[in-house]
């Protein structure tokens, strides 16, 4: 796990290019504190830099930028290629036959890093064929000295980040935006349209970034620039100053709608998933440094840890953060799972003051506005793990693949139950639901809880009823989904001068042709929420403390298997993640797992009314909002007033604005 950066300046490479890229590299030292390197080709204006967190091959043989033996390729790689030893064996089998000179020589191997393997594979098979063979998480930049071309590529699911774009006549790229900001050509113009998208989602969805002219490379894609682009550039190549057009070597859409549905019986499906997950987890346990796992006690992380322990000759190190506030603490569940599996478990209960002390670090850590408040416990558990290990496996991805979110059950159930009714009648029902504030509804449900079945006992039911009221008058099930995943429902009315761009959620042409609404929601979450929120949250928090994270549930072979399953194996009789649960029950008793789904959250609503109130008031000050000129103050101030009074819980909406305001303040401070 590392960080990469660089730039391509074919028109005019500055004399101090090496110094400039060194400063860019230093901006992401946290991603790779163990080693660094710079490579410059002054003749064509290409500059590469790398920060290394040593995981495989700790020797100098793993140093980057790395040059292939033939001298044709130079690479900087962030991530891990889990099947690189298999690729080595393939290359060694080919070695007696005619191969490009570099590949033939490469099979002598100078070390055992996956970067060296990747270079040999590019020499032997070319770029696209090699990417298709790779199993891993990665972002890379590859300079081809023969064709004078630069290729950027990213893993299938978007675990590793890669930003890029032209700023004037300089093409910048890097693992984080802060490394691009360190280049003198960087302009840093905030894109108001994207700011509106951020308010809707609480993150900036790909391919956009918060800055004009800077994009995120989509998962599963690659693009190439050439120093000698002809007037009519071939597909996949980029003319100077023109926005890139990525080429996809793997698409979630193709996987979702491929005609591969299988008629599996339950026992066979459970066996196959168990085997696939064992292989994925086992493949990601390879490291030359200490390794452990995050454990919340939920289905996903418990499955990963169980499969780790089943393949380990010693207790796996597991880590959990606990909170003293009722309704937000999963540590006791994690402790029970760890005790059953026999892991070496470490837990840390943090106070509200310790958690809130993290907040000033968030704007710099996340680089662009990011408002998933579970970023706070994610950073805390990453810090805890880093005291003991350098690599930690995470259980993210199970919800999107196996139907784990409550909305998959709720949205389809709502539409089936109410979609037949006239919209005016549904609007009237919404009015009834909002006559009581969420806190009052919580009290009602608390009093009735002993009479309710377990599956109906949700945390914060009042907020869920108010959210239900906001979607009753929709025209289609897709509108229900969009409303459920949106914070601000009309964000362009909040951001001054904004027009909300289309995304995968609002452009039906990007939807997968799948047989049911639940699968369509899972697909859209896999395309947007998973890479741009969940994986971004984990990557920045962990790499901010120099911890590598690995996410075995989204191994692309597991993803492809999940899309071959009927919906009934994911959601059965109202129970989410049915198939994944059956695998887990082979290792952990179901009584340790069966409980309502709990998010990895914090009591943000309470904190904003209490210890965070003064901090929030300063950032939401009406005169400040008007002076900065990004937001219309009225809707923000109204929600702030209603939240403080306790009439409504607007914590998510307010956190979106607060995280932008804190990020903007940080930009001004370091701009």
| Residues with catalytic roles | 2
DSSP state letter for 309: H
Check: CB of residue 609 under 8 Å from CB of residue 328.
no
Tokens of 348: 């840390």
Helix axes 84-94, 114-125, angle to 10 degrees: 40
Check: CB of residue 145 under 8 Å from CB of residue 135.
no
Check: CB of residue 140 under 8 Å from CB of residue 554.
no
Check: CB of residue 315 under 8 Å from CB of residue 342.
yes
Neighbours of 449 (CB within 10 A): 12
Check: CB of residue 388 under 8 Å from CB of residue 317.
yes
Distance of alpha carbon 501 from alpha carbon 484, whole angstroms = 19
| Residue 292 φ/ψ, nearest 5 degrees | -150, -155
Q: What angle is formed at CA 476 by the lines to CA 467 and CA 525, rounded to 5 degrees?
A: 65
Helix axes 375-386, 536-543, angle to 10 degrees: 40
Specify which residues 318 forms β-bridges with. 293, 345
DSSP H or E stretch at residue 49: strand 46-52
DSSP H or E stretch at residue 216: strand 215-216
Distance of alpha carbon 208 from alpha carbon 198, whole angstroms = 10
Distance of alpha carbon 247 from alpha carbon 237, whole angstroms = 9
Beta strands in 62-168 (DSSP E): 66-67, 73-81, 136-144, 149-154, 163-167
């Amino acid at each position: 796990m590392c960080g990469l950066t660089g730039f391509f300046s074919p028109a005019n490479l500055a004399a101090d290019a090496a110094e400039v890229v060194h400063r860019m590299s230093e901006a992401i030292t946290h991603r790779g504190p163990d080693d660094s390197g710079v490579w410059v080709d002054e003749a064509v204006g290409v500059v590469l830099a790398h920060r290394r967190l040593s995981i495989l091959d700790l020797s100098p043989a793993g140093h980057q930028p790395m040059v292939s033996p033939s001298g044709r390729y130079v690479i900087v790689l962030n991530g891990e290629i889990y099947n690189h030893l298999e690729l080595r064996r393939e290359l060694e089998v080919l070695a007696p036959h005619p191969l490009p000179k570099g590949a033939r020589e490469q099979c002598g191997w100078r070390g055992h890093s996956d970067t060296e393997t990747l270079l040999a594979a590019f020499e032997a098979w070319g770029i696209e064929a090699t990417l298709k063979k790779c199993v891993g998480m990665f972002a890379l930049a590859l300079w081809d000295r023969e064709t004078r071309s630069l290729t950027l590529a990213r893993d299938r699911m978007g675990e590793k980040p890669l930003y890029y774009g032209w700023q004037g006549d300089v093409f910048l790229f890097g693992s984080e935006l802060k490394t691009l900001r360190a280049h003198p050509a960087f302009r840093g113009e905030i894109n108001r349209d994207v700011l509106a998208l951020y308010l809707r989602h609480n993150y900036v969805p790909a391919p956009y970034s918060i800055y004009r002219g800077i994009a995120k490379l989509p998962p599963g894609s690659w693009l190439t620039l050439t120093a000698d682009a002809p007037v009519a550039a071939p597909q996949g190549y980029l003319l100077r100053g023109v926005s890139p057009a990525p080429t996809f070597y793997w698409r979630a859409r193709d996987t979702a709608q491929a005609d591969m549905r299988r008629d599996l019986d339950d026992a066979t499906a459970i066996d196959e998933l168990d085997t696939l997950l064992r292989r994925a987890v086992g493949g990601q346990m390879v490291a030359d440094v200490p390794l452990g796992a995050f454990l919340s006690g939920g289905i996903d992380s418990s499955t990963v840890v169980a499969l780790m322990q089943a393949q380990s000759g010693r207790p796996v190190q597991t880590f959990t953060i606990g909170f003293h506030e009722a309704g937000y603490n999963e540590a006791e569940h994690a402790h029970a799972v760890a005790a059953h599996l026999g892991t070496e478990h470490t837990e840390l209960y943090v106070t509200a003051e310790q958690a809130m002390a993290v907040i000033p670090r968030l704007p710099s850590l996340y680089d662009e506005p990011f408002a998933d408040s579970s970023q706070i416990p994610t950073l805390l558990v990453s810090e805890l793990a880093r005291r003991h290990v350098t690599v930690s496996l995470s259980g993210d991805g199970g919800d999107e693949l196996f139907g784990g979110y409550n909305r998959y059950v709720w949205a389809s159930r709502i539409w089936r139950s109410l979609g037949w009714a006239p919209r005016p009648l549904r609007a009237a029902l919404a009015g009834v639901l909002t006559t009581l504030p969420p806190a009052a509804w919580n009290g009602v449900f608390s009093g009735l809880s002993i009479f309710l079945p377990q599956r109906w006992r949700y945390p914060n039911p009042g907020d869920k009823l108010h959210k239900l009221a906001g979607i009753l008058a929709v025209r289609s099930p897709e509108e229900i989904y969009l409303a459920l995943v949106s914070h601000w429902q009309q964000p362009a009315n909040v951001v001054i001068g904004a027009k909300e761009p289309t995304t995968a959620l609002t452009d039906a042409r990007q939807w997968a042709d799948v047989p049911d609404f639940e699968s369509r929601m899972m697909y859209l979450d896999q395309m947007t929420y998973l890479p741009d929120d969940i994986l971004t949250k984990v990557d920045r928090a962990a790499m901010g403390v120099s911890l590598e994270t690995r996410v075995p549930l989204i191994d692309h072979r597991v993803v492809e298997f999940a899309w071959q399953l009927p919906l009934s194996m994911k959601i059965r009789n109202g129970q989410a993640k049915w198939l994944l649960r059956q695998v887990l029950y082979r290792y952990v008793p179901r009584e340790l797992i069966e409980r309502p789904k709990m998010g990895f959250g914090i009591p943000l609503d309470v904190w904003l009314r209490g210890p965070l109130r003064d901090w929030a008031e300063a950032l939401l000050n009406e005169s400040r909002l008007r002076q900065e000129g990004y937001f219309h103050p009225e809707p923000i101030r109204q929600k702030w007033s209603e939240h403080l009074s306790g009439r409504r819980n607007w914590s998510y909406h307010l956190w979106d604005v607060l995280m932008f305001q804190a990020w903007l303040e940080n930009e001004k401070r370091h701009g």
